[in-house]
Chain A
Amino acid sequence: MLVAHNIKKTFSSDNKDIPVLNGISLNLKDGDFTSIVGRSGSGKTTLLNVLSTLVRPDRGELTYHGRNLTTAPESQLDQLRRSDFAVIFQFHHLLPYLTVLENTLLPFMSNLKPVGRKMEKKALECLDRVGIADKARRLPGNLSGGEQQRVAIARALVKSAKILFADEPTGSLDKATGETIMELLVGLNGEGLSIIMVTHETEYAALAGRTIEIEDGSLVQ
């Protein structure tokens, strides 16, 4: 369970403080599919980044299964992102010089110890699961936007992530590809993967069990 309490975040620009999150509190249960909607600049992505521990809040508390993540050392947050949390972005999800398979196994390549055959097999299974196992040896540059997004999802699957944070996962895709990706996400959620998705599209937001709307850094509902 991921709980955010009174989260505040301010960014500085040209010596001016710009409040982005103004005391957001929310409770995300295991297995939930939550969509975060709102206009551009409302603070959706910042909230997602705070929840995924990529950005530390200025104030408030974030806990994951009772562990206070706000005060946790960076190494623990790194570890959490290596194991339980997975993040996918609208663009540039993959390192362009690594193959699809290597990008999928990237979370396990942070050590000098080589990734084992077993893990490679699992990565291929995950790629198969998202329908691109045949492109495992290709570089991301040879894949379509939808295929690249699938690789990012496969990367979340291979490490058995508990929560998938998706920032506009269909934002750069055509309608048909976007729908396929959404079907995939809904299917994975059905298998127990918690998903927190930022989106502009109300049609996709409606597929989530819960929708949170943000306006000027505060929750609307």
Chain B
Amino acid sequence: MNLFTIPLKNMRRKPTKTGLLLLVFSVGVMSVVALYQVSLVVGLSLEQKLTAFGANIVVKPSTEKLSVSYGGFHMGDMLLDAKDLQEAETTAAIRSIALSDRISIVAPKLVTMVKTNEAAVALVGVRWEEELALKSYWAAADGTFPQRSGEILLGSLAARKLGIAAGDTLDLFAREYKVSGTLLETGSDDDSVILMGLGELQEMLGQPGAISFVEVAALCAGCPIEDIVAQVRNNLPKTSVIALQNVVNQRMSSIRFVQKLAVMISLVIMVTASAMVGLSMLSSVNERTKDIGILRSLGYGKSRVFMIFCLEAAFIGSLAGGIGYLAGYGASLKTLDLLTMTDGVVPIFSIVHLAICAAVFPLITILSTLYPAWRGASVEPSRALVSL
């Protein structure tokens, strides 16, 4: 028997009222937890989907660019100390950063120039699996993507420039290649190039393992792109690692929108649930003026009366926090199941989160009870005694 006994026994006295209050707040907590879990999973899932729309980090050799002029003639930009990267070493270094779980796709490329059919065109060697995962927006205008060695893919402008189409052949470095397909116009550099297997190009150029640059698709939710870039730089000190901020920001804005929406809805739910708790406590104060009178006549100070109401709110908040978390976790599983958009990402059940809910939500209920509790504590014994 202590001060806790009074609010606990009062709650037991009115099981329906206490139950309803608990239900309202638990539903509030459940909604917040479910929204948080769903937004987290949807955010990650969305990011994984957005990753299919290109890279957000580029790793290239560290070079110095000079703009050369001599005798009044501008001789263009010259790259100093330009050396190709080594594919195995570079991709392994990228994949081994501390935040490696955030690295989704690593797509190495070797770029060279070639003259064929009386036209100069850029020839890009790619790893088809990575490239197609990175650029899922690619679509073949005609033909198919290369399936085997000896096949190439043409960008739409390159095909026009060379005057060839799917099924034709093209001579490259004295070897005949079959055009398996041409790309639908993408509006990017891909429209102007010839694409072929990276291994074949390395072999053809006599540069085994050489690559010009690497495009990386990183998942940025939960950690800033700067951290990933810094870790890649640390593993590849002699390279230039650039974050394509506009791409990152565009992706993150979509994810942040989902998360902000969840936060806003959660806030509305919590304010509503807190208002319900506050109103219920206010009516409880009015109902219990007699009790307050008895307590005050027994020497319970204002602070004790205040504490009794706050403790009652804290019990509700703590119970609702625990129940709401468990229910919210279950609801998020069910919701994501219905949405069928998890892409293998599942909500995380955490005892720490459960404990945080059971600790934080009492604070919210106490906050919403501050005014009613203050009203209760301010009741003058003489006023309370009128009802005795």
Interface residues of A (CB under 8 A from B): 49, 52, 54-55, 74-75, 78-83, 85, 87, 89-98, 102, 105-115, 120, 155
Contacts and interface: CB of A to CB of B under 8 A. Distances in A.
A83 B382 contact: no
A109 B382 contact: no
B91 to A, nearest CB: 62
Interface in B20-44: none
Contacts of B2: 109, 111-115
B376 to A, nearest CB: 14
Dominant SS among interface residues on chain B = helix
Interface in B62-107: none
Contacts, number: 88
Interface in B235-290: 290
Interface stretch (B112-120, B201-209, B294-302): B294-302
Nearest to B4: A112
B12 interface: yes
Interface in B305-320: none
A57 to B, nearest CB: 11
Interface string B1-24: 111111001101100000000000
A87 B5 contact: no
B3 A74 contact: no
A109 B1 contact: yes
B291 interface: yes
B381 interface: yes
Given A54-B385, A55-B381, A98-B9, A78 B300 contact: yes
Contacts of B299: 78-83, 85, 107, 110
Nearest to B384: A54
Given A55-B381, A110-B304, A89 B298 contact: no
A78 B301 contact: yes
Contacts of A110: 3, 298-301, 304
B298 A74 contact: no
**What class of interface size applies to chain B in its complex with A?**
20 to 34
A109 B294 contact: no
Nearest to A115: B1
B298 A107 contact: yes
B380 to A, nearest CB: 8
Interface of B: 1-6, 9-10, 12-13, 290-291, 294-302, 304, 380-382, 385, 387-388
Contact of B385 (A49, A80, A95): A49
A58 to B, nearest CB: 12
A67 to B, nearest CB: 16
Given A49-B382, A97-B12, A102-B1, 16 more contacts: A78-B296, A78-B299, A87-B298, A89-B297, A89-B388, A92-B290, A95-B291, A98-B6, A105-B1, A106-B295, A109-B1, A109-B3, A109-B6, A111-B3, A112-B3, A112-B4
Nearest to B381: A54
B1 A96 contact: no
Contact of A75 (B290, B294, B297, B301): B301
A147 B182 CA distance: 99
Contacts of A49: 381-382, 385
26 contacts: A49-B385, A52-B297, A54-B385, A55-B381, A81-B296, A81-B299, A83-B299, A89-B297, A89-B385, A89-B388, A92-B290, A95-B291, A95-B295, A96-B13, A97-B12, A98-B5, A105-B1, A107-B298, A108-B1, A109-B1, A109-B5, A109-B6, A110-B298, A110-B300, A114-B1, A120-B1
